[in-house]
Amino acid sequence: MKALLTTLIISCGGLFAVEGKITYLSGSAEIRSGGKAAAAKLGTNLKEGDTISTGNGAKVGIQMSDGASFFVSQRSTLEIKPGSNYYQGDGTISMIFRKEGKHNNGKWAIKTPVVTAGVRGTAFSVEAAKSSARIVLFTGKVIMTDFVRESGLQSDPNLMMQDFLNDIELNSGTALKYNGSDIKKEQVDLGKEPTKKLYDEHQQLEKSDAWKKATQELK
């Protein structure tokens, strides 16, 4: 079967200028904006078009005005695109999407190089690379969208795996792994899930004064 180059997508709504703020910083991280790079700092404002990259051992917390919350692990990149869209090029990121937020319409988009999913108001982690992705759902529901439609290929069941012709639903405690040609869905023990540590830290940091203050400023 031919490898599919698709994207991880959470449905996007109307266009508006989302904004954000760095709410936690440990280690070295960089913000690329308008072709220029600068060191990330706690409290730095973020806007559409900015890309955040973390170095070895670094972690960055980000709160957005559309209700999206990110905790970016080391050696990861996250780009803020127009219209409440985000792109994760590589690395591991914990994500939480809530209804609160002045630019929130309950819909977001998060893309990686190789897989497509639809999500609303939920929390999950994504491990992304150039030719693979792994999604672990902690709360809520994820709908994997039609791979054939997203890739623009013809819906010919004689050429494609049937899984790629239908939506795939993920519930809490489910992981999905895609390597560009094969897809695997499995139940996971969240207590033993490696990315749960990042997710738990994300949840705890959202309760900090710095994060709460940033959330209020973005409302």
Strand runs (DSSP E) across 65-144, as ranges?
Answer: 68-72, 77-81, 85-97, 109-111, 118-119, 123-128, 133-139, 141-144
In contact, 115 and 155? CB cutoff 8 Å: no
Which residue did the predictor score with more confidence, 20 or 157? 20
Burial 119-151 (b: 16+ CB within 10 A, else e): bebbbbbbbbeeeebbbbbbebbbebbebbebb
pLDDT digits (tens, 9 = 90+) for 30-69: 999 998 999 999 999 999 999 999 999 999 999 999 889 9
Answer whether residue 216 shows pLDDT above 60.
yes
Q: What is the mean pLDDT of residues 134-161?
A: 59
Q: How many domains does the chain have?
A: 1
φ, ψ for residue 176, nearest 5 deg: -130, 130
Residue 22: pLDDT band (50, 70, 90) is very high
Q: Which domain covers residue 150, as residue numbers?
A: 19-218
Q: Supply the pLDDT for residue 203.
A: 94
Q: Supply the pLDDT for residue 11.
A: 41
Residue 176 lies in a domain: yes
Predicted TM-score of the model (pTM): 0.82
Please classify residue 86 by burial: count the beta carbons closer than 10 Å to its beta carbon, then call 0-12 exposed, 13-18 middle and 19+ buried: buried
In contact, 114 and 144? CB cutoff 8 Å: no
Q: What is the mean pLDDT of residues 167-185?
A: 78
Residue 106 lies in a domain: yes
Q: Supply the pLDDT for residue 118.
A: 60
pLDDT digits (tens, 9 = 90+) for 83-124: 888 899 999 999 998 766 555 556 677 888 776 566 666 888
Q: Rounded mean pLDDT of the chain?
A: 80
Q: Supply the pLDDT for residue 17.
A: 83
CATH number of the domain where residue 101 is located: 2.60.120.1440
Q: Supply the pLDDT for residue 164.
A: 45
The answer for residues whose C-beta is within 8 angstroms of residue 68's C-beta and 6 or more apart is 18, 84, 86, 95, 96, 97, 101, 108
Residue 13 lies in a domain: no
What are the helix and strand counts (H, E) for the chain? 3, 17
Q: Supply the pLDDT for residue 115.
A: 67
Q: Supply the pLDDT for residue 117.
A: 61
pLDDT digits (tens, 9 = 90+) for 184-204: 888 999 999 999 999 999 999
